[in-house]
Structure 1
Amino acid sequence: MISIIIPVLNEEVYVTKLIRHLQDCSSLDLVKEVLVVDGGSTDGTIEKCQDLGIKVLKGEKGRAKQMNLGASYATGSILYFLHVDTFPPFQFDAIIKNALRHDTEAGCFRMKFDSANSFLRLFSWFTRINHRICRGGDQSLFITKSLFEKSGGFNEDYIIYEDNEFIGRLYKGTKFRVLPYHVKTSARKYEKIGALKLQYYFGMIHLRKFLGAGPNELYQYYQRKILAKV
């Protein structure tokens, strides 16, 4: 059984779209629960979830903290971490369960943007490559609960880059699979900042991490270059 964990903060529009998408694209006998973990929303996010019958956990702001909290409450043997603006493929639950039957403990999907931008289409093509440099949270992440607990979960020191840091650890210790199906994720940040510019900033974050930058330095760069513009 799968526990879907969705961290949110002021996402009343997207959370409604995603929950309805999950209900339309999954089997009731495979998804045990959907856990929305709120980091202090001041809009109608919580009310929208409750109206749709979804359990909402309230925690501290910070995606790593929120996802760890969701995992601690999850009762399924498979955890599926999903960004609120990422929509998984049809029958994603059956696809994940089937993948975990074949010597796999963790993995993700390929990714497409909800945009016709040529650069973003090229960038998303690289998500089919099974290398840690091509990974990111927008591709979603499925993992057995036992491996999640064994690996220590997300590092809460990271306000950003938490997905990459965790997946990087998984690559070192387990067989990680990239499934040949696509999630579709929002290009809203790229549309606001500019596709080339934003991807350059993300590339610099990867480079700074490779050169030894810690969580605080990465977040300060993100604040200056990205957060201030969205």
Structure 2
Amino acid sequence: MNRISIIIPMLNEAEHIGKLLQHLIENAKQKNRLEIIVVDGGSTDNSVEIVKTFTQTNIKIINSSKGRSKQMNAGAKAATGTILYFLHADSFPPKHFDYFILNEIQKANYAGCFRLKFDSNHWWLLLAGWFTQFNFKACRGGDQSLFVTKALFDKIGGFDESYIIYEDNIFISQLYKLKQFTVINKPIITSSRLYKKHGVFKLQYHFWMIYLKKWLGASASELHEYYKENIG
């Protein structure tokens, strides 16, 4: 029987992590087929304490070196499920998300995501979310979440830990090369906090620049430097 391991990389997510864990508990259809692994990268707020208030046996927290790719690989290593589901701490999947994932696996779709919807009515973010229903690599991003069988994850070799940013896109590109990706047309609601902080079009410009720089051959360190300089 397939079992889903939900892997949530965390760093100072006190604002969201408790809400997310409660959301997962309340919206899963088959809770007995889930485990939730929160991978902390050295939080200095009370994120860890919040996670520890959840006493369910299928929720655990582990420690890892800082860095989303390192944290997600650590979570995958600790996972006991046959399916890995990577989820941002500020992204809330749809009701019965586990059922939808298991249904795709049964149809031999071994990797994919949900369509995206931001928690904002800004017209650009509504449009950006609308495009994520289409199964094109250019429409993908980690905030849409990612499910993948453990076998396929291991075949690819996990996330490239040399990437501090863009690690989701690198991994998803490998899935597209293998023709193993599907989009579940149900919305995952994700925070627009970064857009609110920097401005919608300014942040979108920087994301496009990162995409362009990678296409032109920029290294992982060059992408990270650009991100630090312009986004934070």
TM category (shorter chain) comes to: over 0.9
Asked if the contact 2:25/2:31 (under 8 Å) is kept, the reply is: no
Decide which of 183, 186, 194 is 1:181's aligned counterpart: 186
1:53-202, aligned counterparts within 5 Å?
53=55, 54-202=59-207
- The alignment's TM-score, normalised by the length of structure 2, stands at 0.96
Q: What is the one-letter code of the residue matched to 1:147?
A: L
- The CA distance in 1 between the partners of 2:76 and 2:103, in whole Å, is 21
Q: CA deviation at 1:30?
A: 5.0
- The CA distance in 1 between the partners of 2:95 and 2:16, in whole Å, is 18
Q: What is the one-letter code of the residue matched to 1:9?
A: L
* Structure 1 unmatched ranges of 5 or more: none
Q: Secondary structure at the match of 1:128?
A: coil
- The CA distance in 2 between the partners of 1:181 and 1:215, in whole Å, is 32
Q: What is the one-letter code of the residue matched to 1:13?
A: E
Q: CA deviation at 1:128?
A: 1.1
Q: Percent identity?
A: 53
Asked if the contact 1:105/1:174 (under 8 Å) is kept, the reply is: no
- The CA distance in 2 between the partners of 1:185 and 1:105, in whole Å, is 23
Asked if the contact 1:2/1:30 (under 8 Å) is kept, the reply is: no
The answer for the alignment partner of 2:216 in structure 1 is 211
1:37-52, aligned counterparts within 5 Å?
37-52=39-54
Q: What is the one-letter code of the residue matched to 2:108?
A: D
Deviation larger for 68-77 or 166-175: 166-175
- The alignment's TM-score, normalised by the length of structure 1, stands at 0.97
Decide which of 2, 5, 11 is 1:3's aligned counterpart: 5
- The CA distance in 1 between the partners of 2:169 and 2:83, in whole Å, is 20
Q: CA deviation at 1:174?
A: 3.2
* Structure 2 unmatched ranges of 5 or more: none
Q: What is the one-letter code of the residue matched to 1:48?
A: I
Asked if the contact 1:65/1:154 (under 8 Å) is kept, the reply is: yes
